[in-house]
Structure 1
Amino acid sequence: MFLKHVLCFCVLSGMMLGNSACRKDNTYRTVKTAAKVNTSIYDYLSKQQENFDTLIYIINKAGLADTLKNSTVTFIAPIDQNIAVAMQNLNLYRRAQHLANATLDSVAPFVWRTLLLRYMITGNKTAASFSLKDGLDVNTLNRRRLHVDGVQSNTEGVVQSGAYLLKYSDMNGSRFVKDWIFSYVNTADIQCTNGTLHILEPTHVFGFKSFVEKATILQNKYSDYYLATGTIFFPTGTNRPWYDRLKVVTAVDSVTCDVEGADLLSSSYIIRLTVAPDNTVTVTPAPQSANHTLRNDGNCKYDDALQAFVLHYKYTGSSGKRHIDEVISLRNF
């Protein structure tokens, strides 16, 4: 609960600090579209060090330089000021926990990679691509679903008489627009040799509201929020299904996670999932689980294409064995 309060405070403070957190010149405080450049997205950003030296640094740490040099992508790019505010928020939280300040290097490369991929969209999309009435849902390179609207701004009191702006929204785990977190693009349509670059406004907080949580808690490839659908089959011949149950998969190490067993979190049934190199999964009880009979009951695997755990496991209850079939799918919005 404390973390949630701090996260909310951090996001708000980041927005208030957005214009003063970094003293770098803000070259891109404009909504004008830019011209075509004969260079890759990565190389273009590398040449604009006054705004993107920190961004390039974390791109390199995340192993995404080649993606921005050679893949066809649309990059809705944060500027260094956006990253500085996120780091301030992280260190505000760490100081509240009596921890030393974090640095760019102390944040795990996996965290930088996961969050940077939220700004990279598959394909080449100019501002005109988002001019539909309700905007456009887009898939990021790590298969997250975000939303882009093309909106006409107001000027001098006249509604929709100003510049055309792009509004980039993280769905924040909700299908309701009122819950989304958004930022505007200041510069759109920099046409590079491998795609399109759009540049976010200075008040954006890198990672939207996810950065502090991601950078504070151990992460791996699988740790995230999921939706689970499954059924418990009882010895009596009855069963109990559940649908789209929110589950949090937490990292233990690079290939191991803990998550609620079946729909029994209130009973403290926690399963530990260990993913082998061939994506088969071993189910065991987590050390903190109230039931230590949780085990595989058939083939279990992690499906990379679906970003889902497909599980068949069992446990022993007071009246015999219970069998569980369950699919735990990444919540991609």
Structure 2
Amino acid sequence: MNIYSQFISTCARPLGVWILAALIVTAGCSKADQTYVKYNNTAGSFNGNAIEYLQSQPGVYDSMLLVINRLPGVADSLRSGSYTVFATSNRSYTIALKNINDARRDSVPALPAVSFSTMDEAVLDSFFCRYIIPGHITTQQLYDRADGLEFPSMKYEYKMQLQLRATNASGFLGGGPSAILFSDMRKSVFAVNWVRVYTNTVDIKTSNAILHVLDPGHNFGFGTDLIQALNRD
């Protein structure tokens, strides 16, 4: 068959063949695109309360549980109350404790080192409660709030801000999992003064609470404010 005959034969193929091929290609592209659009980083549900969830992962939340058990009423609240919990890993507490004790050592006069078992209970309580917000707040509730929402913390009604952000994945800008940008507003309306941290897992549903897991590199207490509060005296 010469080139002209091949061309005629190709062009003469039924229109349905071309339509079917186009549909296959389109379906393939659509499926690939949705991999990014629909991907999320949720961890599903847990059959137990918030405290039991933290206890179910030994070696991850031991420091957080130690603090919870020190503070009046917090453990009972997280067993039965309706809350949103921003979970902080052991590493977050390790980072914070190093920074606290480095500052205490360098102060004039130098101050003795502390631990989360011995530091001032009232100060620890006020900072820890910033990670607990009354009610259930999921990523779904933040979707249509481009500028985020403010929420009062447990006990002290200290204002925290939650904003949903799309992360990047595989070179696809904004196509990765949704994350919550969790901000200590530091009693300021100007975002430049806020201290912020991203979640790396969201929307863990327990029997009484919603948990969002913060990045393990987060400095518990949101940095210098906790250090200053502990070293004030």
Both structures adopt the same fold (TM-score exceeding 0.5): yes
Q: Give the Å deviation of 1:35.
A: 1.2
- Alignment partner of 1:50: what SS? coil
Structure 1: distance between partners of 2:206 and 2:99: 32
- Determine if contact 2:151/2:159 at 8 Å carries over to the other structure: yes
Match in the other structure for 1:303: none
Q: Give the Å deviation of 1:157.
A: 4.1
Q: Does residue 183 of the first structure (1) align with residue 190 of the second (2)?
A: no
Alignment gaps of 5+ in structure 1: 1-30, 219-333
Q: Which amino acid aligns with 1:55?
A: M
Q: Which amino acid aligns with 1:113?
A: D
Match in the other structure for 2:19: none
Match in the other structure for 1:125: 137
| Aligned with 2:44 (options 23, 31, 35) | 35
Q: Which amino acid aligns with 1:133?
A: A
Match in the other structure for 1:110: 122
Greater helix fraction, Structure 1 or Structure 2: 2
Structure 1: distance between partners of 2:103 and 2:147: 36
Work out which structure has the larger RCO, using CA pairs closer than 8 Å and 6 or more positions apart in sequence: 2
Q: Give the Å deviation of 1:124.
A: 0.8
Match in the other structure for 2:70: 61
Structure 2: distance between partners of 1:46 and 1:116: 18
- Determine if contact 2:159/2:187 at 8 Å carries over to the other structure: no
Structure 2: distance between partners of 1:47 and 1:164: 25
Number of equivalenced pairs = 188
Q: Which amino acid aligns with 1:120?
A: I
| Aligned with 1:140 (options 138, 147, 153) | 153
- 1:190-229 equivalent positions in 2, closer than 5 A: 190-209=204-223, 210-217=225-232
What per-residue deviation string (whole Å, max 9, x for no partner) do you get for residues 196-237 of structure 1?
01110011111112221122225xxxxxxxxxxxxxxxxxxx
What per-residue deviation string (whole Å, max 9, x for no partner) do you get for residues 38-58 of structure 1?
111011101212111111001
Q: Which amino acid aligns with 2:141?
A: S
Greater strand fraction, Structure 1 or Structure 2: 1
TM-score where L is the length of structure 1:
0.54
- Alignment partner of 2:129: what SS? helix
What per-residue deviation string (whole Å, max 9, x for no partner) do you get for residues 166-209 of structure 1?
10011123211122110001111110111101110011111112
Q: Which amino acid aligns with 1:48?
A: Q
Match in the other structure for 2:29: none
| Aligned with 1:87 (options 97, 100, 103) | 97
TM-score where L is the length of structure 2:
0.76
- Determine if contact 1:61/1:112 at 8 Å carries over to the other structure: no
Match in the other structure for 2:9: none
CA RMSD of aligned residues (A): 1.4
Q: Give the Å deviation of 1:89.
A: 0.6
Q: Which amino acid aligns with 2:53?
A: Y
What per-residue deviation string (whole Å, max 9, x for no partner) do you get for residues 56-86 of structure 1?
0011001210011011000012111111111
